[in-house]
Amino acid sequence: MKNQYQWKSDISKMLKAFIKEKKMTGFKYERQTRDLERFDNYYYYSGYSGIRLTKPMLEKFIYGEFEKSSTHYKKEILMNNFANYLHKRKYGVYVPQIKSSPTRKSNHIPYIFTTDELKRLFTAIDNYPIANINNRNIIDPVLFRLLYGTGLRVSEALNLQMKDVNLDEGVLTIHQAKNNRDRLVPMTQSMTDRMTVMAEDIHQFKGKDYFFFPNTKGKKIDKSTVYCRFRDYLLMADISHTKAGPRVHDLRHNFSVRCLKKWVLSGEDITNIMPYLAAYLGHSDFRGTQYYLRLTADLYPDIISRTEAEFGFVIPKGEVENEK
């Protein structure tokens, strides 16, 4: 059995409180906890006292001589978050910048729909000619709204079973998703209402292991079927489709950008919002979430400029790796 780490520095109480808060928001925070244990050890044996963070102290810890730049990047994010945690509690600490962000280019540039395009897309989905050989007229108006309204991955939506959908509370349970973690996804009331109507229409007397979005044989709909139907709807909506997109996954991108745009306009603290969005989307770390922030900044520079002076360190420079 692994020995439990013994916290020892003057700052350990705040480190433990910070870790507890992160875990309460849905993060496993296992690797980060180990890094913070190392920081506690470093803080203690370096002779630091009280609760303080200085630039020389943090740079020595973050930029290990024989470490990869990706390791530096992860520690920059971690110590930036911890420093902001202390700053919000009125401690005068140095907040390190995030400057080692990966510059690897994404192969795909997400397609962000205009308001008019979204209206045409969902009108096409709702008015698709009645198909007696499948259940797309019942399934698709709900499925595609769920993808856009919650940012779920296609596989996450298709894997939903009756037991995962709590229509009384309006909450979905996503099991063992892309990054091998479970999460709860709240829905809006309007989305919950649509899910309820569909469930009453096709799921009466179905067992808890029955797929919420089944094909006509009661099995899980194949992702390729969803992709083909999406292209049908784009054609009906007069939205051009090329090899570059739009893709079904772009609905997830649109959800994220729409959320960030709304929060920036309402004056929300981006450093507070990022962990919640990352947890909601099921990201393994902040790289995917930062990707959306960069995309939002590129699409709406006039909006982002209002808060960049205060939160510019959160927005990665240049291109970043696509979301995970």
CATH code assigned at 281 = 1.10.443.10
- Is residue 269 predicted with pLDDT exceeding 60? yes
| Residue 218 placed within a domain | yes
Do both 163 and 285 map to the same domain? yes
Distance from C-alpha of 175 to C-alpha of 182, rounded to nearest angstrom: 5
| Residue 256 placed within a domain | yes
Do both 217 and 323 map to the same domain? yes
Do both 242 and 321 map to the same domain? yes
Domain of residue 57: give its range: 12-87
Reported as type and span, the H/E element at residue 173 is strand 171-174
Say how many domains are in the chain: 2
pLDDT grade for 109, boundaries at 50, 70 and 90: confident
Tell me the three state secondary structure of residue 185.
strand
- Of 55, 61, 51, 60, which is closest to residue 92 (Cα–Cα)? 51
Angle at 275 between CA 70 and CA 297, to 5 degrees: 75
Do both 58 and 180 map to the same domain? no
| Residue 99 placed within a domain | no
For range 60-76, the mean pLDDT: 90
* pLDDT given for residue 102 in this prediction: 61
pLDDT grade for 264, boundaries at 50, 70 and 90: confident
| Residue 284 placed within a domain | yes
Do both 126 and 80 map to the same domain? no
CA distance readout (Å), 120 to 114, 153, 235: 10, 22, 10
Do both 224 and 129 map to the same domain? yes
pTM above 0.75, yes or no: no
